[in-house]
Amino acid sequence: EAGVAQSPRYKIIEKRQSVAFWCNPISGHATLYWYQQILGQGPKLLIQFQNNGVVDDSQLPKDRFSAERLKGVDSTLKIQPAKLEDSAVYLCASSFLQGQNEKLFFGSGTQLSVL
C-alpha cells in the first residue's frame, strides 16, 4: 500500500515570496489533514478536509495561508506571502475513517525555510 506522498521535501524561499506544498493521500482516505510543526514543538493542525469539504480551519492564518482539496483527493497548501515565522515542517496526514477508531497515516513532510 502506497503511503502519503508529499512534495517538495525541502523548500527555501525569501520572506514575502509565495510557496505551495502538495499532498497525495492514501487511496480511499476521505479525511486529510495539514499540520505545521515548528522546530521543538508538536504538530499544530492547520486544516482538516473531509473529501473536498473543510471540516476545521480555525487555526489556519487565512490572511496568508490557503488550502484546497479538489475532487477530494490531492491537496495543496499555499502561503502567500511567507513570513520568517512560517519556517517549519508541513506535514500531511490522511485517514480512512474519521472518529473514535481513526488511524492517521503521515507523509514525510515538507521542510520550509523562510530567509
Q: Which of 27, 80, 102, 115 binds another protein (CB under 8 A)?
A: 102
Is residue 42 part of the contact set for another protein (CB under 8 A)?
A: yes
Question: What SS3 class is residue 54?
Answer: strand
Is residue 1 part of the contact set for another protein (CB under 8 A)?
A: no
Is residue 99 part of the contact set for another protein (CB under 8 A)?
A: yes
Contact 92, 106 (CB under 8 A): yes
Is residue 56 part of the contact set for another protein (CB under 8 A)?
A: yes
18: cell is: 509565495
Q: Rounded to whole angstroms, what are the CA distances from 101 to 54, 97, 98?
A: 20, 7, 7
Q: For another protein, give the closer residue by CB, 52 or 98.
A: 98
